[in-house]
Amino acid sequence: MANARSFVTFAPIPVDTETRVFVLTGAGISAESGIATFRDANGLWEKHRIEDVASPEGWARDAGVVWRFYSERRAQASTCAPNAAHVALAKLEAAIGDRLFLCTQNVDPLHERAGSRRVVHMHGELFKTRCERARCVSPPRFDDALYMDPAALPRCACGARLRPHICWFGEVPFDMDLIADALSACDVFVTIGSSGAVYPAAGFVAAARRAGRARAVYIGPEPPDNARDFDECRLGNATSAVPPLFDVRG
């Protein structure tokens, strides 16, 4: 089990001119912006079965139910603003450039709205839509429309249905090659607000430590399921714990 203490007792993590930082964010970083986490009571997820709204089988059964769910999430996300933790990570990128690899499990756009430019959305993006045919040449495109009417669902120019650009359960997350390279190159690995229950993301910390010398730190109000893989669990909310987390030198 990692050393788990309140974040106030930890010193900032030094980031010098060579340090490579991998940050993995989960639903917890957006919780204080008003976006329900996966496990939240009263969250959107509680009212829906994952198999119905976030799986290829659910899509095959009833695309209208799936689009209604993601339309509701688009509507909710449109009202949410980035918080101090998103802003702190955007500032870190401004300071160290591509030595920060920011990977999020979140499909919301709050990192970008805070100013982050290079964000790897391994589970897709809420405000993108793509053709359901894997071989279609049309790339995912920005889409903030709400599709609440099952009789008027969007179609691709090729004739197939358009689907949310989301990695559903049972599908392979995006950019796994890029992620693997960044994990093997990082000196510092930080997870913010992720329960450590959803793989492959929950395995990134072990991969980073296997690959080399990465120091691994978890930020969140409670230890995650994979706490034993971290050197430290700094217990606190993202908006309090992330802004003072890094000490950029040089």
Q: How far apart are CA 109 and CA 81, in angstroms?
A: 9
Q: Are 18 and 250 in contact (CB under 8 A)?
A: no
Asked if 200 is part of the footprint of ligand NAD (rule: CB under 6 A), the reply reads: no
Asked if 237 is part of the footprint of ligand NAD (rule: CB under 6 A), the reply reads: yes
| 123 included as an active-site residue | yes
Query: If DSSP codes are grouped into helix, strand and coil, which group holds residue 239?
Result: helix
Instruction: Give the DSSP letter string of 154-175.
Output: -B-TTSSBEEEEE--TTSPPTT
Asked if 71 is part of the footprint of ligand NAD (rule: CB under 6 A), the reply reads: no
Strands 13-15, 141-142: pairing kind: unpaired
Phi (first) and psi of residue 203, to 5 degrees: -90, -5
Distances in whole angstroms, Cα of residue 188 to Cα of each of 115, 126, 245 = 22, 28, 12
CB nearer to ligand NAD: give 107 or 183. Answer: 107
CB nearer to ligand NAD: give 7 or 156. Answer: 7
Asked if 197 is part of the footprint of ligand NAD (rule: CB under 6 A), the reply reads: yes
Give residues 27-46 in contact with ligand NAD (rule: CB under 6 A): 27-28, 30-32, 35, 37-39
Query: If DSSP codes are grouped into helix, strand and coil, which group holds residue 210?
Result: helix
The two tokens of residue 131 are: 């053709």
CB nearer to ligand NAD: give 99 or 229. Answer: 229
Binding mask 156-195 for ligand NAD (x = CB under 6 A): -------------------------------------xxx
Number of residue whose CB is nearest ligand NAD: 28
Helices (DSSP H) in the chain: which residue ranges?
A: 27-31, 50-53, 56-61, 63-78, 84-96, 110-114, 176-185, 204-211, 238-241
CB of 170 to ligand NAD, least distance (A): 12
The two tokens of residue 171 are: 């599908």
Catalytic position from the list 86, 111, 123, 165: 123
CB nearer to ligand NAD: give 12 or 221. Answer: 221
CB of 142 to ligand NAD, least distance (A): 16
CB of 206 to ligand NAD, least distance (A): 16
CB nearer to ligand NAD: give 221 or 250. Answer: 221
CB nearer to ligand NAD: give 31 or 156. Answer: 31
Binding mask 90-109 for ligand NAD (x = CB under 6 A): ---------------xxxx-
Q: How far apart are CA 27 and CA 196, in angstroms?
A: 11
Handedness of CA 53, 55, 56, 58 (dihedral sign): negative
- Total residues at interface with ligand NAD (CB under 6 A): 26
Binding interface with ligand NAD (CB under 6 A) = 26-28, 30-32, 35, 37-39, 105-108, 123, 193-195, 197-198, 220-222, 224, 237-238
Catalytically active residues are 123
